[in-house]
Structures are given as structure tokens and as C-alpha cells.
Structure 1
Amino acid sequence: MSLASTELVVRTIAETAIGNEKYFGDLDSVVGDGDFGYSLARGFEKLLEGWDDLDRSSPGAFLKRTGMVIASRIGGTSGPLWGTAFMRAGGAAGDSADLTGDQVVAMLRAAIEGIKARGQSDVGDKTLLDALVPFTNALSGGPLAEAASAARKAADATSEMVAKRGRAAYTGERSRGSVDAGAMAVAVIAERISEIWPGEGASS
């Protein structure tokens, strides 16, 4: 994956977050405070406003700078989590000018570990990890389209979980029956990247 491909992925994430502001907010309002969609959209709008000024010396540098902007611009708990994910992914990329499929998976795993540490959360806590981990696992052994499908299936399955992190955790059993907004955001973004990706799989 080249710098141009990295830019394509990040821009797609940003545009998808902005385009789904109301949907993500509505999902979050069921058991959360409803600001997830708004916060995510405003943060990624700021990223796009400064798009031309981002460090493009390597894919890793680009991702790290993206993470710094997101961490400072997205409100609530989402900023630190999403920002950490991008920064950890960028760190795992190192100075490589062109990333292999295996490197991309390793970057996603680094992002996952960063989210776990920052959010004190894990798979099963009804967070974005419940879609991001299955997506990454599927991507490590198959095409991007299948990984996106795995993310969607996993996000849908969060409706059966009880939230253990974030504001939704305060609702206890009432959080069962609705999908996690963060997990669904990961699924929707993964599907959109799969749609626009000029090939099949992370190594294309």
C-alpha cells in the first residue's frame, strides 16, 4: 500500500464519518449521549480542512500526523481512542514507503492494542473493538470484501451484548438490544473502503 493508497483510505474514513453523522449519532443516542456522530464528523472535517498540510514523507508519518489531529479535534472519549489508533498504526508502519498486506494487518493490530490500552477495554465490552478485531482477523487471511463482511456481522452482534465501557455502561441491561455505535462505524467505514478499493485485499 503506497502513500497514495494510504491517503485514499484516510480520506474515505473521513468522508464516511462525515456522511454518516446523523446515523452514528442516532445509534449512540439509544444508550449513550448521542454526540458520537457529531464529534466524529467535526473532527474529520478539521482533518480535511488541513489536508494539504499533513506530513507526506511516508505512509507512517501521514498516519501519525492524522492521529494527532484527530486526537485533538474529536471531542469526548472518541478523540483519544481514534487518534491513538491512527498514531499506533503509523508507528507500526515505520519508514516504509510501500506497505505489504502483512504490514497493514500488523498496523491494525497495533491500533487495536493502542485502543485497548487507552480505553481499558477489550473484545466483548461492546465497543468498536468488537468490529475492528474481527475485521483485522479476517483481513489477515482473506480479501478486503470478506473482512468488511466480518466487521458488519460482528457489529450487528453487539446488539446482544451489555456495554461495559463508556456512557452506555451506566445503562446496564438496557444497553442490550441496540448495536454499538463505534462498532457499526467501523463496519460502515470498512464496507466503504472495500467498495472504493482498486483491487482485492490489503496487499493490492
Structure 2
Amino acid sequence: MTALSDAEFVVRTVADTACANEEYFGQLDAVVGDGDFGYSLARGFEHVLAQWDDFDRTDAGVFLQKVAQAISQRVGGTSGPIWGTAFLRAGGKLKGHETIAPADVVVALRAAVEGIQARGQAQLGEKTLLDSLVPAIDTFEAETAAGASTDDALAAMAVTARTTADATKELQAMRGRASYTGERSIGSVDAGATAVAVMLEKLAGAWPQR
């Protein structure tokens, strides 16, 4: 498959997963947050799906950047800028690519993380999606560098994402609305980190049959 078709598959899987889990993600966020995470994410990716046929598909990078614009236009609160910036930065690293190697994926994902950190002023350990995403990227990089297939590397990535997302229940929220609850945020998982885990699980499961 081409870089563009791979990017389309990833975005479509993420979008479908966000929409299908709107209520679940909202319930997780409502424990210590304002409960709008699932709603906001679903509305953003619904907007992506509604514009699906109209996106510029010059290459994978351009496509991802158009997706980023769609998300930013529709998602409210902090989620829009954060998720939009992630796709925008990843797309910037993949412009002009006809194929995507695992190392290219890592570079794009690292750029997405940098964008999230810049927008959200968040670091690891502050009970955000970074606490699931960054370790998952580390696993993908290590697995592919060791010679694992993309299928196996994605499977391992999803396992790491789930383990680290579940571990956020031990952390105190330092960013977003949840941070206002202080120590009461300890004991519940972060909604964003769990969303990353669910999305990567869906992607890992679907990738071999794409």
C-alpha cells in the first residue's frame, strides 16, 4: 500500500473509534473533568468523516494536515488545538512521501508529541494522553528497530498503550479541568490516555486485514 492509503486507513480507524466511543470517553472524563471529552472528540472526527471525499490527497502529509484543519474547526475546548496540532505536525513530517517506513512513522509521531506538548504545556507524568502515547511510540520504535513486522510492532504498541493508560489512575492530574480536583484525581484513569489505548487497539486489530 502507498503512504497515502496507509494514512487514510489510520485516520479512518481513529475517526470511527472516536465516534463509536463517544459515551465511554465522556464517562471517563466526567469522573474528575467536565465530561465533554468524548463529545468534543466525536464531533471533530464526525467533521473529518463528513469531508472525507473532499480532502486534498496530494500525498499523505498534505492529507493529514487537511484532517488537522477539519478537527481544529469543529472540536471545542482544549481537545481541538491539541489533536489538530498533533495531526498537523505529523503531516508536516510526511509531506512528499510515496511510501512510509517504520522510522518515518516514529518521526511523525514524535513531531505530534512535540506539538501536543507545545499546545498543552504538558509533560510526561501529568496524567494526560502523553502518558499513554509516548511509551507506545517508544515500543513501536524498539520493536521495529529489532526487526519486528509492522503487524507485531503495532500489537506491542497497543499493549503498552493500554498498560500505561491504566497506570494513569495512580497519577494526580496536573493539566486541564481535572487538575482542579487535586488529589481526588488519583484513582481514575485519564480519558485521553485511555482513548489513545482504545484507538491503538482497534488499529492493531484491523491493520493485518487492511
Q: Considering the TM-score relative to the shorter chain, is it more than 0.5?
A: yes
- 2:99 and 2:75 map into 1 onto residues whose CA distance is 29
Match of 1:161 in 2: 171
Match of 1:177 in 2: 187
1:144-155 correspondence runs (5 A): 144-155=154-165
Match of 1:194 in 2: 204
State yes or no: 1:83 paired with 2:95: no
Code of the aligned partner of 2:172: V
1:17-36 correspondence runs (5 A): 17-36=18-37
- 1:178 and 1:64 map into 2 onto residues whose CA distance is 33
Cα deviation, residue 94, structure 1: 2.3
Asked if structure 1 preserves the Cα contact closer than 8 Å seen for 2:3 and 2:97, the reply is no
- Given the two structures, how large is their TM-score scaled by the length of structure 1? 0.96
User: After the TM superposition, which segments of 4 or more aligned residues of structure 1 sit over 3 Å from their partners?
Assistant: none
State yes or no: 1:3 paired with 2:4: yes
Cα deviation, residue 198, structure 1: 2.1
- 2:43 and 2:94 map into 1 onto residues whose CA distance is 27
When structure 1 is superposed on structure 2, of 88-97 and 161-170 the one drifting more is: 88-97
Count of aligned residue pairs for this structure pair? 200
Which secondary structure does the structure 1 equivalent of 2:208 belong to? coil
1:92-103 correspondence runs (5 A): 92-103=93-104
Match of 2:45 in 1: 44
Which secondary structure does the structure 2 equivalent of 1:127 belong to? coil
Cα deviation, residue 72, structure 1: 1.4
Which secondary structure does the structure 2 equivalent of 1:140 belong to? helix
- 1:51 and 1:141 map into 2 onto residues whose CA distance is 33
Code of the aligned partner of 2:86: A
CA RMSD of aligned residues (A): 1.1
Code of the aligned partner of 2:68: G
Gaps of 5+ in 1: none
Code of the aligned partner of 1:179: V
Match of 1:60 in 2: 61
- Given the two structures, how large is their TM-score scaled by the length of structure 2? 0.93
Gaps of 5+ in 2: 144-152
- 1:18 and 1:38 map into 2 onto residues whose CA distance is 9
- 1:72 and 1:109 map into 2 onto residues whose CA distance is 24
Cα deviation, residue 2, structure 1: 2.0
- 1:5 and 1:118 map into 2 onto residues whose CA distance is 27
Higher fraction of helix? 2
